[in-house]
Amino acid sequence: MSAPPPAFDPARLKVLPREFFNRDPRRVCRELLGKVLVRREGNKLLAGRVVELEAYMGMGDPAAHAYVGPTARNRVLFGPPGHAYIYFIYGNHYCLNVSCMPEGKAGSVLFRALEPLVGIAEMERARGLAGAKASKRVLRLLTSGPGRLAEAFGITRPRDNGKDLTDATSDLFLADGGCPPPRVLTTVRVGITKAAERPLRYVIAGNEFVSKKRVLEPAQR
């Protein structure tokens, strides 16, 4: 059984500094778990705790979009750290990454699942689930999966690609919500065919909102 979610107070959000992202994506993954993704438009607030991430290692990683070098599509990955890289996949879904490493290096982190904290009714509308009877199953349908969380937060490439996620005045940013450091497990990455064996998926141990049921291997370096 999992522990109850820690209390969450939007007034105490502290935006993460750019230096947080100016390092190896694997390190960013470990420390980003438990932090909060925030969408703020006027008085509307959406927030979700980060519970599942994957690291992409830039030009050295055959599974990474940056593997081919800088292009019009992936140029944000080669820019300064802490910015949103959003791509469209399978003709249906947007996926959110945050750029890591110094400008010129293209590591990144893919957001695979969030735990909804604030704005659940709005997320249900965005996901086409308005009016559904409240249940754990419906809650999981909101943000458990990279395409789902993007839709729940209204994240699209035209709207959000290139945004600075360390800017507290932005309508999309990443913050420390005061969650104590969670226990982290690693597994192989999901849904890729190239370099699929590397243990670069990071999840909060035991969290209900992780996107897939799958055997979790012990955390390793």
Q: Is 155 in the site for DNA (CB under 7 A)?
A: no
Tokens found for residue 78: 């080669």
Q: Which is nearer to DNA, 12 or 194 (CB)?
A: 194
Taking the complex as a whole, how short is the minimal distance between the CB of residue 141 and DNA, in angstroms?
A: 6
Taking the complex as a whole, how short is the minimal distance between the CB of residue 112 and DNA, in angstroms?
A: 7
Cβ proximity of 100 and 20 under 8 Å: no
Number of residues that bind DNA (CB under 7 A): 36
The C-alpha atoms of residue 68 and residue 58 are separated, in whole angstroms, by 9
Tokens found for residue 189: 């990455």
What beta strand segments (E) does the chain contain? 14-15, 36-41, 44-56, 84-89, 93-99, 108-118, 172-176, 184-187, 201-204
Specify the stretch interacting with DNA by CB under 7 A; choose among 4-12, 27-35, 93-101, 177-185.
93-101
Q: Is 8 in the site for DNA (CB under 7 A)?
A: no
Task: Please identify which residue in the block is written with the tokens 């969450």.
Answer: 8
* 136 DSSP 8-state letter: H
Return the residue of 10, 45, 88, 118 that touches DNA, per CB under 7 A. 88
Query: Contact letters (x/-) for DNA, 30-59, by CB under 7 A?
Result: ------------------------x-x---
Tokens found for residue 202: 């990071």
Q: Is 60 in the site for DNA (CB under 7 A)?
A: no
Closest alpha carbon to 211 in 42, 53, 64: 53
Query: Contact letters (x/-) for DNA, 180-199, by CB under 7 A?
Result: ---------xxxxxx-----
Q: Is 108 in the site for DNA (CB under 7 A)?
A: yes
CA 9 vs. chain centroid, Å, equals: 20
Q: Note the residues at the interface with DNA (CB under 7 A).
A: 54, 56, 63-66, 68, 71-74, 85, 87-93, 95, 97, 108, 110, 127, 141, 145-148, 189-194, 211
